[in-house]
Amino acid sequence: MEEFILVLTTVPDEKTGQTIAMRVLEEKLVACVTISGASRSFYWWKGQISKETEHILFMKTRAALFPELGKKLEEIHPYDVPEIIALPVQKGSADYLSWIEKETKS
């Protein structure tokens, strides 16, 4: 069976999230992107603690597409060092996983 992953990245605003979502969807690198509402991120950056409002993109895809998806995100993302994290999908609805497989490039 195909391996599936959930890829996360954060963006500074919803509009940026929508732009990234459309790009990766149009290229069939993901089957679905869910954009969270605004959330607060606290993190170290250049020796200081930063506080920003961000949105999280939850991207559902096949593990085999991660190298291409990661490269695309690095290319189009506005951050110098974007968060690009992939989590394995341990289990899922057979119908949903089949849909991800069908809607992403082979």
pLDDT band at 1 (very low <50, low <70, confident <90, very high): low
The pLDDT tens digits for 48-87 are 999 999 999 999 999 999 999 999 999 999 999 999 999 9
The answer on pLDDT for 100 being more than 80 is yes
Specify the number of domains making up the chain: 1
**Which two tokens mark 103?**
């809607």
Cα gap 56→81, rounded to integer Å: 15
pLDDT band at 33 (very low <50, low <70, confident <90, very high): very high
CATH of the domain at 8: 3.30.70.120
Range of the domain at 91: 4-103
Q: Residue 70: CB partners within 8 Å, gap ≥ 6?
A: 7, 84, 86
Predicted TM-score of the model (pTM): 0.96
Cα gap 27→72, rounded to integer Å: 10
Q: Are 9 and 20 in contact (CB under 8 A)?
A: yes
The pLDDT tens digits for 11-27 are 999 999 999 999 999 99
